[in-house]
Amino acid sequence: MAIKLAVIYYSTYGTNHQMAQIAAEAARAAGADVRLLKVAETAPAEVVAGQEAWKAQSEKTADIPAASAQDMEWADAYLISAPTRFGVMASQMRAFIDTLGGIWAKGGLANKAISAMTSAQNAHGGQETTLLSFYVTAMHWGGIVVAPGYTDPVIFKTGGNPYGYTHTQGAEFDENAKSAIGHQVRRLIEVAGKLK
């Protein structure tokens, strides 16, 4: 039976959208049933429209469905990807998380495998704290954190972050980046399969 994976992202300018797409493709290749979902934009429409790159990304991904509590209930595992904002996840992702109280209260988020990815403008812009702070949320849910650790040599080729893939905005998604994301999502699926 295929693992049901929700790849949920927020992306202002496209970096985390690309990361989520790479992960979704790798998960499908590994046999998972995948839903690629974005979280709803919380910034005012006039602010988004006032920045050309932000507006373009919003228009480019208009057809991607918004994540819901029902998607969280459906999934066996979650891969979350959101940019770093001042050392924690972007407020749009936190706003989505804040809608999950009902499903959390009935145990609908417990015992599910969870992994996360992030990006920032520079290599030391808070990526590790972003991932670790999200994993605290996952622990409150009763989720099972599945970080990549140092379980594949490619981790060292992409910055050596054992908590989850991190990307510097504007850097190319080369084969090492794609391999690291693919490894993380396959590991997540493997652990989710053992839990299921």
- Count of all residues that appear for the chain in the document: 196
Tell me, what's the pLDDT at 70? 97
How far is the C-alpha of 119 from the C-alpha of 181, rounded, in Å? 13
Question: Any idea what the Cα angle at residue 69 is, between residues 58 and 181, rounded to 5°?
Answer: 60
Q: What is the pLDDT of residues 124-175, one digit of tens each?
A: 889 999 999 999 999 999 999 999 999 999 999 988 899 999 999 889 999 9
Residue 65 binned pLDDT confidence (cut-offs 50, 70, 90): very high
| Residues 171-195: tens digit of each pLDDT | 999 999 999 999 999 999 999 999 9
- Rg for the chain (alpha carbons), in Å? 16
pLDDT at 34 over 90: yes
pTM exceeds 0.85? yes
Residue 122's pLDDT is what? Answer: 87
Please tell me what DSSP assigns to residue 17: H
Distance of CA 106 to the CA centre of its chain: 23
Chain centre distance of CA 88 = 13
Domain 4-195 is classified in which CATH homologous superfamily? Flavodoxin domain (3.40.50.360)
The pLDDT assigned to 148 comes to 97
